Amino acid sequence: MMMGLTFNFSLAAMMPGIILVVSLAALLQFFISYCRSLIAASVKQPISADVRDVTGIVRTACGEDFERVIQLLRLCPAHPHDRSEIRAIGTYFRLLGFLRVSAGKLMPSLVSWTETERGQCAYFAAVALERRIAFSRDMLAEQMHT
């Protein structure tokens, strides 16, 4: 009888922790899906030769391009709709970097996958830069006509 009571008490004490872990795992899964959907939408959009020249992206983006493109993004006036998306992709990029460093030695195939994902994050940032440049041009043209 005492054994059953101890087991039930231990399970009851652990239940909030189990709920927290499951909730965090679900949130992480949702966050990764959200970021991958943003990236998938941006991969379909071409970037202009001007943005390629400015960012240094020749053919495909790599993970090392991300920080440089983000710095260029910070120089442009913010587009009203992309701030949260860029912040989410930046968090995803850092998560991928952590995953690459921490689990890369255990699973070598993970290193190539994370590098591909990091490159797609950089491409997303280049597409966002393209949008911000277009937004700035539109704002300038509007001001010149008024």
Cβ atoms 129, 76 nearer than 8 A: yes
Question: What is the reported pLDDT for 118?
Answer: 93
Query: What's the pLDDT at 56?
Result: 80
Rg (CA), the chain: 22
Entry pTM:
0.82
- Least confidently predicted of 2-11, 58-67, 82-91: 2-11
CA–CA separation, 110 and 105 (whole Å): 9
Q: How many CB atoms lie within 10 A of CB 24?
A: 10
What is the pLDDT confidence band of residue 6, given thresholds at 50, 70 and 90?
Answer: low
Those residues whose C-beta lies under 8 Å from the C-beta of residue 93, and which sit 6 or more positions away, are 63, 66, 118, 121
Confidence band, pLDDT 50/70/90 cuts, at residue 52: confident
Q: Are 125 and 67 contacting, i.e. CB atoms less than 8 angstroms apart?
A: no
